[in-house]
Structure 1
């Protein structure tokens, strides 16, 4: 057997755990295996078994997207995932192969059918006709992914393994998310375990270890290796390389993957309380008065026959490594995103020279960051570059039951048949993170103004019942962290509101200097702002 020609094959397995509801759509509107139903959007499933799946092509696309974001170099992406024939270049096949991954639902759980809505940011209500039902995989669902990396020559091994490890780093956090409506917190995923095996196909034993087994045996062996595997693929690769005597390659992969991430991005981290400040000008030490919140959902369990509507609860993963899942109340996804977008739009509209008719450049700038359904220059909707990372979970507080009725405006008495019972969330706090791609100082300043409203007087509301005082949320902590310009740059936005003479307020004033030229229609394009904190001071 020729020991040089076959090259090296890496078998890689990963365990991915979903942290929020996820919809990976089907290629067909109604899959061949699915019965007719009221569901508008179905999950992608294996046509033979009906199991929900993550297709190999989707999996490879996710990893490719993660690597492109990490490196910013199409040439390096093409080395791992291949490239088409362009400008006379020779097409290149992908060095990475992937298999379909099938969903493993949490114990006792099944595929859920949710009601999706499109919330009008201007009104805070559901847009007429934009309501649908879709299948989702609940939080706690696990995918075991199987990859194979073919290394044609020893000189290529370090480079290809580094690219694969960088792609795997994007699974989780601010990186890759699965499926649809990811900007509203859906599709959050984390890679909890990675295992790798190096096979020299020029060696007889390794050749039969790969080609002499069935697919099911290969997958079972890889899954067994995941039980005590690390969460970092670079560590798993390094362990195998050192066992094969390739310590230099292991050191190279470790050094390259440990390099700092230079992507320009920002995180708006909020702690939101279902409450109002008793004295909005007293600052963070001031007391909070708990409020009521209703993001409507169908009652579940023993509450199904007791109440008409209930505040929304969702599965929450407490321990992704072990798949520990519980049911907890949440702030809502589309509702929270629409609340922040509505405050941002109102702030810009009120500050514009002509509040009744903001200029086309201002509208275009806002659509660049917050997305638009009907953009002015294209027939394709524009995605948001401000994205909710996960659906925020409410901690603390209590669920209370309230009865409401419709009162006749003419006679002042109750209308027959208009009596409702609701389960409402009273009090509690939630942590929310908004990711911002390639931010400029203008969008940083707008985020600071949004926090100012949430930290003082929550004029806008979230969910139902705003006319009777429900839906007030207050920012008790807020921090904007900018990455990509050296060490992370942190600004406390609540301190900037209540301590105007401090360094945080000085940084915010520097950002706000980018807004007047934008409001007056001056020069510039989205994303061309200065570095964070530049131009700060009174």
Structure 2
């Protein structure tokens, strides 16, 4: 008789506390949910139809964890061992070993669901594309979800392997690296989330007391007990699992779990880490430590609080989580999400175009395909879905330092040079300050690293491109005051290159590395003779 038939098996009850670190939108299945009143909002949040509480569906959570596990182990088939698989190609269907419940959000005290205005920015012009403006409901940073999972282990020999897969699946919610993202527009910094506490309980369903401890409770009692256990819980699920295993006299399984979870992260990725100052260099050719002249920035938003009625427009501010464990939130100015991503994308597009034209752009289509592979593109004529960007903004950057400057502007008649009646506006602008920015790059090669170096060179010297409103009057200039590209590959030590040193110290070691990357970009964009007819064709292109 098999072990599956000998014993009812083991059940792990796992509860996690997830805190949102940035604005998040998880869309509703219906255009207007049954519980929502008619309004001007175009995109509603998914909510519980009974209570109206924001909801993360179980299917959404399962998809996030499955994707995180497949990326962590580098093998999508491994995810099927935990989350199951459909029948196909001679393969029998496999039932998921994990059960997940819907999770409901608890907003920070004194806040509510926000209605934001979303836009699509033309990377070439830096302006909003006509007609691509909408309103959507957004969960603010600091919103907390309590997530409930159950892992069923039918065969005792599988316990260590399944627990390892669960720990690896939730690793991305721990806040390290690019991490797990929730909802829409994650490439623009939305949906950042961190698991702050994990509580676990191991129940042997072959034991009478453990059987009644699970089946003798209602769903509300189970959820309440899991949430109550989070108060003194660990921030690391693998630590919580190992502690429970040792308490159940399974020290060998705990040691096996710790050894497997500590294995190398096989993802190939890079991080472009920037410090962007709202300022311009007084001398663009000086070293990175040269003097900066503070500038003005306007990422337009409606005024709030005591500024409501005092000014017409204000620089954008967002809730920022000070302490994810306690859910403490403050309001701070931000550099923007769509506008910042469009700025970097616009500089990258111009750098690629100029380099290709200087080298003799023999095949613009292939050059554009390579660019779209990294920066994303809309749905093509023969494609079902748009291509996502492989360069992604990790979270919405927060500006520290600087000050608010109130300015008055007017519309001037171009014919007579007089102020136009009724065209007087007052704005709150951001003056100065620095924002820490991280772009994550999935599976990078030397050519995209070289392009990142060219983008940083532009941001560190003469900022031709601007972010936000007021470009015509000198607003929106940002300068890179720190830039580092970190490449992470499997179990190898991270490779770090200071891109500012590479720009200002051409004889240094960092500059030598960057020259190799730029050479790879030039080789990709350069034409080469065609062996058949002697014409030229481009070497570059998307994969």
Q: Is the 8 A contact 2:20 2:144 kept in 1?
A: yes
- Give the Cα separation in 1 of the matches to 2:65 and 2:140: 22
- Give the Cα separation in 1 of the matches to 2:169 and 2:401: 37
- 477, 487, 497: which one pairs with 2:493? 487
Summarize the alignment of residues 261-340 of structure 1 with structure 2, pairs less than 5 Å apart: 261-340=265-344
Which residue of structure 2 aligns with residue 21 of structure 1?
Answer: 23
1:515, CA displacement in angstroms?
1.2
- Give the Cα separation in 1 of the matches to 2:320 and 2:76: 37
- 520, 526, 529: which one pairs with 2:526? 520
1:517, CA displacement in angstroms?
2.5
Which residue of structure 1 aligns with residue 39 of structure 2?
Answer: 37
1:441, CA displacement in angstroms?
0.6
Deviations 1:263-299 (A, max 9, x none): 1000000000000001111111210000000000000
Deviations 1:317-350 (A, max 9, x none): 0111110100000000000000000000011111
- Give the Cα separation in 2 of the matches to 1:187 and 1:391: 10
Summarize the alignment of residues 124-143 of structure 1 with structure 2, pairs less than 5 Å apart: 124-143=126-145
- Give the Cα separation in 2 of the matches to 1:45 and 1:152: 34
- 438, 443, 465: which one pairs with 1:460? 465
Q: Is the 8 A contact 2:456 2:480 kept in 1?
A: yes
1:75, CA displacement in angstroms?
2.5
Deviations 1:50-87 (A, max 9, x none): 11100011111110010011112232111100011111
Q: Is the 8 A contact 2:369 2:541 kept in 1?
A: no
- Give the Cα separation in 2 of the matches to 1:51 and 1:353: 54
Which residue of structure 1 aligns with residue 51 of structure 2?
Answer: 49
Q: Which segments of 5 or more consecutive residues in structure 1 lack a partner in the other structure?
A: 528-538
Which residue of structure 2 aligns with residue 502 of structure 1?
Answer: 508
Which residue of structure 2 aligns with residue 382 of structure 1?
Answer: 387
**RMSD (Å) for aligned C-alpha atoms:** 1.5
1:376, CA displacement in angstroms?
6.1
Summarize the alignment of residues 62-77 of structure 1 with structure 2, pairs less than 5 Å apart: 62-77=64-79
> Does 2:422 match 1:417?
yes
Which residue of structure 1 aligns with residue 535 of structure 2?
Answer: none
- Give the Cα separation in 2 of the matches to 1:410 and 1:74: 65
Which residue of structure 2 aligns with residue 531 of structure 1?
Answer: none
TM-score scaled by length of structure 1: 0.96
- Give the Cα separation in 1 of the matches to 2:324 and 2:65: 20
Q: Secondary structure at the match of 2:357?
A: coil
Q: Is the 8 A contact 2:526 2:540 kept in 1?
A: no
Q: Secondary structure at the match of 1:88?
A: coil
> Does 2:204 match 1:229?
no
Which residue of structure 2 aligns with residue 530 of structure 1?
Answer: none
Q: Is the 8 A contact 2:204 2:210 kept in 1?
A: yes
Which residue of structure 2 aligns with residue 9 of structure 1?
Answer: 11
- 517, 535, 540: which one pairs with 1:511? 517
| Count of paired positions | 526
- Give the Cα separation in 2 of the matches to 1:195 and 1:474: 44
Which residue of structure 2 aligns with residue 247 of structure 1?
Answer: 251
TM-score scaled by length of structure 2: 0.95
Q: Secondary structure at the match of 1:403?
A: strand
